């Protein structure tokens, strides 16, 4: 990667600051805390020179990470964001404090590539430096304090000029948060604070939908948005200042939707570029925001539906592709679904990979990487190679109803109407006692085409064919057993991959029903039920 430096005139300006001038350029008036819990274990890795972000690791012995010659853009983004300071803070020891300060000093003494000065990275770094300042400056000498404050002041001024140019989505929120927090923690920062709030309010209106979902339909993007707003909420509380009402209103809308998109393990469902994320982090954020996250969202304009009975949760993508420019991580997963039973995941989508892992990133976006029906190995929407959607299905239609034995959902999508003149309807019903799921996939119209119904399984689930290959036994990690049966088509077990934890590929398996649609009407019915429960064919 070519190393482009911050403009020399800015660097020279900082380097010629006297300690006295630097001290006046930024002064702390309040201490603000990080709402994200750090991991002491990760601090131990960093202390030994292991820098691992999104599955990519670099090891440095005796020199800082800024000296590396080659790394992916997402690795650079994470290392320059300094959000790993929270892990040092979680450690809390003198060695961790000294190492954090040493890394900040070597960063101040170095020149950096253009990623370090991208508005979103700059905003994240400013937020990190502000929220962990007391930890970093513990036992620091006056020279370090002056340099640290001088650099903060100049970074804030630069961000004021560039924040509005950041990428669409959560990245622009990160830039606004950096500016807004500076106004709460530093003296004479009213102007960046006001600019940051204006930017955040504009982006919240663009990105947060009426039901609390994110316009990108990416649950991880929703979590990040919630995190930035919760960070601001905590900062206002710590300085005892009144918070703008739009932040409160946004948090109150997002919290129940975030809860709605969680499985029984407390982690997120895997749709449209999302990763599982940390259950502890999500729970901490929901608690700290003090919002009513328990509220259900039975008709989500974001396009997600949840069917829940006892310990059984079914999350369904019943929405159309997101609009541009928020479709950069969009997947072709129309009518796909996931299932969890208590703490265990049963049926999953394949997840998402960082974009620098191009092959995995592309594969995970395809319809075949989802627990969905696919016709002739063709995606339900056209996916552009660098992100985005170019062939959109008409809006997906969904209807919830009571089947008499539990909740049911009927989904219609026309993702194959223009390409094959075929309409697809999927019905999913959950037994009220949480012991079974029944489904049906129906194709209508068009020409003769092969199709498959895929059910990707979580890596912790063991699967084997039974009853001469007409059914499958699924054994979850908690020891419980589930039976899968289907009518129509040919059942088989195929290999699959799971990237629920971003950057970590795990081998797994999938149940696949193959058949041929001959025009007119074709259907496949299927069911999962708890082993030992009475069932009827």
**CB 284 within 8 Å of CB 290:** no
Give the 3-state secondary structure of 179-247.
HHHHHHHECCCHHHHHHHHHHHHHHHHHHECCCCCECCCCHHHHHHHHHHHHHHHHHHHHHCCCCCHHH
pTM over 0.85: yes
Look up residue 128 and give its two tokens: 């990190």
User: In the structure, what pLDDT confidence band is assigned to residue 291 with cuts at 50, 70 and 90?
Assistant: low
Q: Is the pLDDT of residue 33 over 90?
A: no
Q: What is the mean pLDDT of residues 166-185?
A: 92
Look up residue 33 and give its two tokens: 């805390």
Q: What gap in Å lies between CA 485 and CA 342, rounded to an integer?
A: 22
The CA-atom distances, in angstroms, between 255 and each of 147, 211, 221, 277, 406 are 39, 10, 13, 15, 26
Per-residue DSSP letter, 277 = -
Residues 6+ positions from 222 with CB-CB distance below 8 Å = 212, 213, 214, 254, 257, 258, 261
**CB 353 within 8 Å of CB 505:** yes
Output the CA torsion 61→67→70→71 (10° steps): 70
| Of 532 and 24, more confident | 532
Alpha carbon 367 to chain centroid distance?
19
Within 10 angstroms of residue 71's Cβ, the number of other Cβ atoms is: 20
CA angle 53, 227, 355 (to 5 degrees): 35
Site of tokens 């000029």: 161
Q: In the prediction, which pLDDT does 356 show?
A: 82
**CB 62 within 8 Å of CB 110:** no
| Of 5 and 36, more confident | 36
Among 132, 221, 239, smallest CA distance to 174 is for: 221
Per-residue DSSP letter, 335 = T
| Of 501 and 336, more confident | 336
Q: Is the pLDDT of residue 394 over 60?
A: yes
Q: What gap in Å lies between CA 446 and CA 516, rounded to an integer?
A: 12
What element of type H or E holds 106?
Answer: helix 94-108
User: In the structure, what pLDDT confidence band is assigned to residue 533 with cuts at 50, 70 and 90?
Assistant: low
Q: What is the mean pLDDT of residues 43-70?
A: 84
Q: In the prediction, which pLDDT does 21 show?
A: 42
Query: Is the bond preceding residue 325 a cis peptide, omega within 30 degrees?
Result: yes
Residues 6+ positions from 374 with CB-CB distance below 8 Å = 367, 368, 380, 451, 452, 454
Q: Is the pLDDT of residue 1 over 50?
A: no
The alpha carbon dihedral of 196, 199, 202, 207 has a sign of negative
Q: Is the pLDDT of residue 358 over 60?
A: yes
**CB 203 within 8 Å of CB 173:** yes
Q: What is the mean pLDDT of residues 500-521?
A: 93
């Amino acid at each position: 990667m070519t190393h482009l430096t911050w403009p020399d005139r800015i660097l020279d300006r900082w380097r010629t600051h006297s300690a006295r001038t630097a001290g006046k350029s930024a002064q702390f008036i309040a201490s603000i805390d990080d709402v994200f819990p750090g991991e002491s274990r990760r601090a131990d890795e960093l202390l030994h020179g292991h820098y691992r972000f999104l599955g990519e690791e670099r090891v440095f012995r005796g020199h800082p990470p800024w000296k590396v010659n080659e790394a992916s853009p997402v690795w650079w983004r994470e290392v320059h964001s300094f959000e790993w300071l929270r892990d040092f803070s979680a450690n809390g020891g003198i060695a961790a404090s000294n190492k954090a300060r040493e890394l900040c000093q070597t960063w101040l003494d170095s020149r950096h590539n253009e990623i370090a000065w991208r508005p979103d990275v700059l905003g994240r770094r400013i937020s990190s430096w502000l929220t962990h300042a007391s930890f970093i400056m513990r036992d620091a000498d006056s020279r370090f304090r002056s340099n640290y404050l001088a650099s903060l002041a100049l970074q804030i001024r630069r961000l004021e000029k560039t924040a509005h140019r950041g990428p669409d989505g959560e990245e622009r929120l990160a830039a606004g948060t950096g500016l807004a927090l500076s106004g709460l923690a530093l003296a004479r920062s009213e102007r960046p604070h006001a600019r940051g709030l204006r930017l955040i309010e504009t982006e919240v209106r663009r990105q947060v939908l009426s039901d609390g979902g994110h316009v990108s339909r990416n649950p991880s993007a929703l979590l990040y948005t919630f995190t930035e707003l919760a960070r601001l909420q905590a900062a206002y509380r710590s300085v005892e200042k009144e918070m703008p009402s739009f932040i409160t209103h946004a948090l109150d809308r997002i919290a129940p939707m975030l809860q709605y998109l969680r499985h029984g393990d407390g982690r997120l469902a895997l749709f449209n570029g999302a990763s599982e994320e940390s259950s502890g982090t999500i729970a901490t954020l929901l608690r700290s925001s003090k919002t009513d996250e328990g509220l259900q969202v039975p008709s989500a304009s974001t396009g997600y539906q949840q069917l829940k009975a006892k310990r059984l949760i079914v999350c369904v993508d019943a929405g159309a592709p997101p609009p541009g420019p928020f479709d950069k991580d969009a997947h072709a997963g129309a009518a796909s679904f996931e299932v969890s039973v208590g703490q265990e995941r049963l049926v999953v989508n394949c997840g998402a990979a960082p974009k620098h892992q191009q092959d995995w990133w592309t594969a995970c976006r395809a319809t075949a990487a989802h627990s969905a029906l696919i016709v002739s190995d063709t995606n339900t929407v056209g996916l552009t190679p660098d992100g985005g959607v170019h062939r959109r299905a008409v809006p997906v239609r969904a209807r919830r109803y009571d089947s008499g034995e539990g909740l049911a959902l009927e989904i219609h999508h026309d993702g194959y109407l223009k390409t094959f003149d075929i309409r697809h309807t999927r019905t999913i019903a959950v037994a009220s006692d949480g012991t079974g799921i029944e489904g049906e996939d129906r194709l209508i119209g068009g020409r003769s085409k092969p199709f498959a119904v895929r059910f990707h399984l979580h890596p912790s689930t063991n699967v084997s064919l039974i009853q001469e290959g007409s059914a499958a036994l699924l054994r979850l990690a908690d020891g419980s057993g589930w039976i899968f049966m289907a009518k129509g088509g040919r059942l088989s077990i195929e290999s699959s991959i799971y990237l629920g934890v971003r950057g970590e590929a795990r081998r797994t398996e999938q149940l696949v029903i193959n058949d041929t649609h001959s025009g007119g009407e074709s259907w496949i019915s299927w069911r999962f039920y708890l082993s030992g429960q009475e069932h009827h064919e």
